[in-house]
């Protein structure tokens, strides 16, 4: 009975938040239609957002980006995904709570979240609900550049992306790195966000993320690191031999970078810390983190020296100019 009451209470609270989002946030569907320009919603530091944004830039697709810091993205994404007559939920790239080592509780099944990013609102009224949909939209179907083996996509989306994110958060969310995390979040938002951050939102957001990713559980972090090494090994068979042995060479898609190359490089980035990741916007925070965390620095070097790491770093080096978005930034 108590669980039923609690569930009803949560649903009621969510309904109120969605109503608030609908009333206070910009109508991006109308904006896209009126401007004839796709509208991209992101958390700039997100590796999934980097994947979608990089593909848009690489294909010279015009768009306006609406960047939000963690937490500030909630109302805009709710308004877009569940605030209208149609729901726009992603069928992939889920975020689920990491099960703590030794816990008898089974982790909740991964499910679509109405606050996930990125999303791209098209002028014709369609909403591309995640980075994969964005990439598949902009790369011409049937061409080498659009190719991504289903097994590779599954490995990138369900293993690599999940594990690199978890391991990166395990370090940046440490109490002694709170200043780095705090400054990085605030760097993408205005003074109202900073005020709310210092009034308690920052601590609450951080505690929620620590709980979600089990960042304070050494055994869970170690298990993540080991699984990630196995994932890098599993991915190696897709890396062209030329890319493994030379400074430049063939890509997964052939002579030019493909959707798969952009996906791999973006989704591996949280443990590689490429200087040009997110056009270098967060490099100062990543550099500070690597200076402080000697074990993370060593781990990063080890991942960079794998075939997968080398290929991802070369992608960032050779096609990094596409990481700079020159069209326009929205709210």
How many other C-beta atoms are found inside a 10 Å radius of the C-beta of residue 111? 9
Question: Looking at residues 152-172, what average pLDDT do you find?
Answer: 97
Q: Can you say how many angstroms the Cα of residue 42 is from the centroid of all Cα atoms in its chain?
A: 9
Q: Give per-residue pLDDT as tens, 106-139.
A: 555 567 789 999 999 999 999 999 999 999 999 9
Q: Give per-residue pLDDT as tens, 60-95.
A: 999 999 999 999 999 999 999 999 989 999 988 778
DSSP helix/strand/coil, 251: strand
Nearest alpha carbon to residue 93 among 161, 39, 41: 161
DSSP helix/strand/coil, 68: coil
**Residues 6+ away with beta carbon under 8 Å from 232:** 160, 268, 303, 306, 308, 309
* Torsion, Cα of 19, 330, 94, 135 (10° steps): 130
Q: Give per-residue pLDDT as tens, 304-318.
A: 999 999 999 989 888
Q: Can you say how many angstroms the Cα of residue 124 is from the centroid of all Cα atoms in its chain?
A: 25
pLDDT confidence of residue 328: 45
Nearest-angstrom CA–CA distance, 250 and 231: 22
pLDDT confidence of residue 327: 44
Question: Looking at residues 166-179, what average pLDDT do you find?
Answer: 97
What is the residue-averaged pLDDT of the chain?
89
Q: What is the percentage of the chain residues whose pLDDT exceeds 90?
A: 73
pLDDT confidence of residue 329: 46
Nearest-angstrom CA–CA distance, 286 and 20: 35
**Both tokens assigned to 96:** 């689920």
DSSP 280: G
């Amino acid at each position: 009975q108590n669980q039923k009451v609690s569930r009803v209470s949560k649903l009621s609270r969510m309904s109120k938040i969605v109503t608030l989002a609908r009333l206070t946030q910009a109508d991006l569907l109308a904006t896209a239609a009126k401007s004839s320009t796709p509208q991209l919603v992101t958390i700039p530091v997100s590796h999934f957002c980097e994947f979608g944004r990089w593909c848009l830039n690489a294909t010279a697709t015009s768009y306006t980006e609406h960047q939000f810091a963690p937490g500030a993205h909630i109302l805009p994404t709710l308004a877009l995904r569940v605030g209208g007559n149609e729901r726009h939920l992603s069928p992939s790239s889920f975020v689920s709570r990491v099960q703590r080592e030794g816990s008898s509780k089974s982790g909740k099944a991964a499910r679509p979240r109405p606050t996930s990013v990125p999303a791209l609102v098209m002028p014709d009224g369609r909403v591309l609900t995640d980075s994969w949909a964005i990439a598949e939209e902009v790369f011409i179907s049937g061409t080498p550049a659009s190719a991504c083996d289903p097994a590779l996509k599954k490995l990138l989306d369900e293993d690599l992306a999940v594990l690199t994110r978890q391991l990166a958060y395990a370090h940046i969310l440490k109490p002694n790195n709170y200043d780095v995390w705090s400054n990085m979040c605030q760097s993408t938002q205005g003074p109202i966000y900073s005020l709310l951050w210092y009034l308690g939102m920052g601590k609450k957001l951080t505690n929620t993320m620590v709980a979600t990713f089990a960042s304070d559980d050494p055994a869970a972090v170690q298990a993540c690191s080991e699984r990630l090494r196995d994932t890098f090994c599993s991915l190696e068979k897709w890396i062209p031999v030329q890319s493994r042995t030379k400074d430049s060479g063939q890509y997964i898609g052939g002579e030019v970078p493909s959707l798969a190359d952009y996906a791999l490089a973006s989704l591996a980035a949280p443990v590689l810390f490429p200087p040009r990741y997110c056009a270098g916007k967060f490099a100062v925070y990543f550099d500070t983190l690597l200076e402080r965390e000697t074990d993370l620095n060593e781990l990063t070097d080890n991942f960079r020296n794998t075939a997968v790491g080398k290929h991802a770093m070369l992608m960032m080096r050779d096609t990094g100019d596409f990481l700079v978005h020159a069209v326009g930034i929205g709210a």
